[in-house]
Amino acid sequence: MAKSLPVSPLASPLPTLGVVPGVRLGAVEAGIRYKGRTDLVVAEFDAGTTVAGVFTRSKCPGAPVDWCRTALKGGVARALVVNAGNANVFTGKAGIETCRVTAEAEAELAGCPSSEVFLASTGVIGEVLPTGKITAALPGLHASLTENGWEAAARGIMTTDTFPKAAVKKTEIGGVPVVIQGIAKGSGMIAPDMATMLSFVATDAALPASVLQALLSEGTGSSFNAVTVDSDTSTSDMVLLFATGKAENPAINGVDDPALASFRTALNELLLDLALMVVRDGEGATKQIRIRVTGATSDKSARVIARAIADSPLVKTAVAGEDANWGRVVMAVGKCGEPADRDRLAVSIGGVTIACEGTVVDGYDETPVVAHMKGQEIDIDVDLGLGEGKATMWTCDLTHGYIDINGSYRS
């Protein structure tokens, strides 16, 4: 049984969630690993629902990731089954068989081919997933699904998360109102190598799978792929985006259709909202850190530098200790192998420039920076002075809490 963890001091409140026409969800306690809490989630979608997905780039992915990559080729979805507590990773043929049996059991209930059932698992690696507990729970869960099951689903996919994560946006396509709503889970083993956790988003927009995929791939670049908690990429992560078509908006003629402008903006904002909730629930986190790099030789170079800063244990522990140790930022810039010139570099914290042109700013007063470091949202800016490249990443501080949680994760 997992230990009860205190809620993160950075916890985001759960928004008021509505419905997404064409989606029904629910959660149940299947006893997969946890006691006294839900751990199995199902979502079912009306016929005609299209789907897009992005997955972990880990070379050791879980069986559900492989299953979803294959299912995604069809471009349509009728159901999603997610379990918490067991990742179904490194379980050999048993893991593959669990996916097949689970998908077939859900497909029978949803009235669709098993190839239209998507699967996700999160939790401990290397333990065989008790398939029988899932298949035994599915009929009752199927019967209880409701359009209002979003909060239950958000809670049911949690592992070391300390608060449920959900977001909603209302927008339009061609003048027709549409809604986008999503949930996510993630707290540790988080690094930008898409994906970095589990997230499931649905909309009632009518969009072809190819357009949906292009939008999702684009949107994850500045959201889920721009956050890191501990530099570790999970074996199980994915983001799936479902479009039921119930809004009956005008037909979209490709991803560059001007009618998609508002929808694209709303989707990107929702993805970032969910990604930042993962950072704010970083295991043991007490502060959110925003790192912005400008003046790099390219956006790609800026991204590498931003990640080097975000992943640095020395930077993260300095923030945890509320120490405005800008030298650790300089260290992280210098170590990552990207173009940098000590005598052009500028470092700012909390909007105060501390060092530039190779030395500390003349007359630098640390007082406002110290005050900034005591807050919950820390801003670090680096200008390399070399070009137009820029990137932004988000991370959290590194505290004793991270060790406490991960030192006892399997117990």
- Per the CB < 8 A criterion, the answer to whether 377 and 287 are in contact is yes
Residue 178: which region, alpha, beta or left (left: phi > 0; alpha: psi -120 to 50)? beta
In tens, the pLDDT along 95-152 reads 999 999 999 999 999 999 999 999 999 988 899 999 999 999 999 999 999 999 999 9
Tokens of 238: 């994915």
CB 82 within 8 A of CB 50: no
Q: Measured on CA atoms in the order 138, 140, 142, 145, is the torsion positive or negative? A: negative
User: Which residue is listed with tokens 């809604």?
Assistant: 179
For residue 223, report the phi and psi dihedrals to the nearest 5 degrees. -135, -90
Q: 10-residue block means of pLDDT along the chain (411 residues)? A: 74 96 98 93 98 90 95 98 94 96 98 98 92 98 98 95 96 98 82 68 98 96 88 81 98 96 98 94 91 98 96 95 95 96 96 95 94 98 98 94 73 52
Q: Is 159 annotated as a binding residue?
A: yes
CATH 3.60.70.12 boundaries in the chain: 23-280
| pLDDT tens by residue, 143-184 | 999 999 999 999 999 988 999 999 999 999 999 999 999 999
CA torsion 126-132-135-139 (nearest 10°) is -140
196 is catalytic: yes
Predicted TM-score (pTM) of this structure: 0.93
**Helix, strand, or coil here: 181?**
strand
What token pair was written down for 352? 């105060």
| Alpha-carbon gap, residue 216 to 269, rounded angstroms | 12
Polymer length in residues for the chain: 411
In degrees rounded to 5, what are phi and psi of residue 361? -60, 135
Domain 23-280: state its class: alpha beta
Count CA within 13 A, CB hemisphere, residue 218.
15
What tokens does 80 get?
């999603």
pLDDT on residue 1: 41
Return the DSSP state at 311: H
**Residue of 38, 98, 122, 196 with catalytic role:** 196
Residues 52 and 241: their CA atoms lie apart, in Å, by 5
Q: Cα–Cα distance between 29 and 48 in angstroms, integer?
A: 30
Residue pair 193/57 in contact (Cβ under 8 Å)? The answer is yes
358 CB-near residues (< 8 Å, 6+ apart): 342, 343, 345
Give the whole-angstrom CA distance, residue 28 versus residue 10. Answer: 28
Q: Mind giving me the DSSP string for 70-132? A: HHHTT-B-SEEEEEEEE---S-HHHHHHHHHHHHHHHHHHHTS-GGGEEEEEEEESSS---HH
Reply yes or no on domain 288-407 having CATH 3.10.20.340: yes
38 labelled binding-site residue:
no
Q: Where in the chain are all domains bearing CATH 3.10.20.340?
A: 288-407
Cα distances from 214 to residues 98, 115, 123, 209, 281, in angstroms, run: 30, 22, 29, 9, 28
Side-chain-facing half-sphere of 385: CA atoms under 13 Å? 11
Find out whether 283 is annotated in a ligand binding site.
yes
Using CA atoms, how far apart are residues 104 and 101, in angstroms rounded to an integer? 5
Residue 411 assigned as binding residue: yes
Nearest-angstrom CA–CA distance, 205 and 216:
14
- For residues 309 and 329, is the Cβ–Cβ distance under 8 A? yes
Contact 52, 212 (CB under 8 A): yes
Beta bridge partners of 307: none
What confidence score (pLDDT) does residue 188 get? 63
